[in-house]
């Protein structure tokens, strides 16, 4: 960041349902309580229309993100996943030319049962910080009128669409009061080990003294073959 402390854009998001998959969970697909940073960055790529790595992605790489939220309940869905590989088809039907099983014609491939944890009535509070006011204003404009979106705006699965409850104007970080306050906020928070604070605050953190569950979150990202 340069000597200017930067700017902030705040948005409140509602999702009827959401699943933020924890990597390497398969038969039982667990979900994070909040979308990880990479998921929010994917949302921004969709919003900005980044279907490759344009020059503008350098601005996106410099963005700072804060994510908090809550959900009302969690349910577990029982679904079938279809495997379209030749091996899965042979295991199910015994022959490439056959699609009949137990007297019924089925889709090609094999299938397996999967349990998916789903969050219901999700409320998110996301802050985006950047040194360039113009970049945040571009995001603000595209949230109001997403003319460049690659697909329906969502967080999590493609069907986990979002409703923008409120959207702030872009304002200077210096208008914020940054301090630690211990309380039960009834929200989940991602608290990174190294917290970004603008130049007018000390860049220190008492991370080791904080209580909570530790997660290794996916944060590195690329955009390719959209």
CATH code (residue 194): 3.30.70
Taking only the tens place, the pLDDT of each residue in 111-169 is: 888 999 999 999 999 999 999 999 999 999 999 999 999 999 999 999 999 999 999 99
Taking only the tens place, the pLDDT of each residue in 175-225 is: 877 667 777 788 999 988 777 766 545 555 677 777 788 888 877 666 666
Q: Residue 147 carries which DSSP code? A: T
Residue 143, domain extent:
7-73+122-209
How many residues comprise the chain?
A: 226
Q: Is residue 214 part of a domain?
A: no
Q: Is residue 53 part of a domain?
A: yes
Q: Structural domain tally of the chain?
A: 1
Q: Is residue 107 part of a domain?
A: no
Does residue 1 carry a pLDDT above 60?
A: no
Contact 69, 100 (CB under 8 A): no
pTM: 0.84
Q: Is residue 201 part of a domain?
A: yes
Q: What is the residue whose two structure tokens read 């569950």?
A: 213
Q: How far apart are CA 73 and CA 70, in angstroms?
A: 9
Q: Is residue 109 part of a domain?
A: no
Taking only the tens place, the pLDDT of each residue in 49-106 is: 987 666 677 889 899 999 999 999 999 999 888 888 889 889 889 998 898 888 888 8
At residue 82, the pLDDT reads: 84
Q: Is residue 114 part of a domain?
A: no
CA distances from 179 to 27, 46, 129, 202 (A): 42, 33, 17, 11
- Can you read off the two tokens belonging to residue 123? 């409320």
- Can you read off the two tokens belonging to residue 32? 């994070």
Q: Is residue 111 part of a domain?
A: no
CA distances from 56 to 51, 62, 222 (A): 12, 11, 13
Angle at 143 between CA 145 and CA 58, to 5 degrees: 115
At residue 134, the pLDDT reads: 95
Q: Is residue 17 part of a domain?
A: yes
């Amino acid at each position: 960041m340069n000597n200017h402390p930067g700017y902030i854009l705040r948005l409140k998001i509602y999702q009827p349902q959401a699943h933020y998959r924890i990597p390497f969970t398969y038969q039982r697909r667990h979900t994070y309580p909040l979308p990880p940073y990479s998921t929010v960055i994917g949302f921004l790529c969709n919003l900005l229309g980044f279907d490759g790595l344009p020059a503008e992605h350098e601005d996106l790489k410099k963005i700072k993100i804060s994510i908090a939220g809550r959900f009302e309940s969690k349910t577990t869905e029982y679904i079938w996943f279809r495997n379209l590989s030749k091996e899965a088809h042979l295991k199910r039907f015994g022959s490439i030319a056959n699609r009949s099983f137990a007297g019924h014609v089925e889709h090609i491939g094999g299938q397996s049962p999967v349990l998916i944890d789903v969050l219901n009535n999700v409320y998110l509070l996301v802050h985006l910080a950047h040194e360039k006011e113009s970049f945040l204003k571009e995001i603000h404009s595209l949230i109001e009128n997403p003319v460049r979106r690659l697909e329906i705006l969502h967080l999590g699965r493609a069907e986990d669409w979002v409703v923008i409850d409120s959207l702030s104007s872009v304002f200077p970080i210096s208008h914020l009061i940054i301090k630690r306050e211990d309380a039960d906020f009834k929200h989940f928070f991602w608290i990174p080990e190294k917290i970004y604070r603008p130049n007018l605050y000390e860049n220190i953190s008492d991370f080791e003294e904080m209580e909570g569950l530790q997660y290794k979150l996916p944060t590195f990202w690329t955009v390719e073959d959209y």
